[in-house]
Amino acid sequence: MSNIRLAKTTDIDRMAEIEALCFPPAEAASLASFKERFAVFPECFYVLEVDGQVVAHINGCINDTPTLPDALYSDPQLHKANGQYQTVFGLAVAPDFQRRGFAGLLLDHFAQHSQSRGHKGMVLTCKAHLTALYEQHQFVKQGISASSHGGAQWLDMVRTF
């Protein structure tokens, strides 16, 4: 049985562990980065548990533009609590729990939370092979992103409420 809830400080180590399993080192958020971000915007971190074990997470700050500039990854102080758009920095599901629909559950939960807070939408960047997943959850491809995060090519995607 799965459960989605707001993350707690005690979840951060596990979130960083899952992140490291799911992203190349140049793209994965470090434990220190998770701690810095969580200290500023804990209301934007959710975890998914299966039988009490954290197996997935989603997080991101709030910004005023429908894009995800790289500066947001490195400076938690750019978070705008009353901003217009919820960003998604990371969505990660532990490898043993992938392909069970957990990523979609987290996306939809985060979207409902964001919409209830009055945001205009959600923004994220992803690699080309993941666009279909996000399109299934009402995100629309905007084109190639200006992001150079981790040295990869990213696509901008937006879900408008």
Q: 56-107, pLDDT tens digit by residue?
A: 999 999 999 999 888 998 899 999 999 999 999 999 999 999 999 999 999 9
Domain 2-120 fold is: Aminopeptidase (3.40.630)
What mean pLDDT comes out for the span 8-17?
98
- Quick one: pLDDT at residue 150? 81
Mean of pLDDT over the chain: 95
**Which pTM does this prediction carry?**
0.94
* CA 144/CA 161 separation, integer angstroms: 22
Q: Can you read off the two tokens belonging to residue 53?
A: 């074990």
pLDDT band at 152 (very low <50, low <70, confident <90, very high): confident
CB 27 within 8 A of CB 89: no
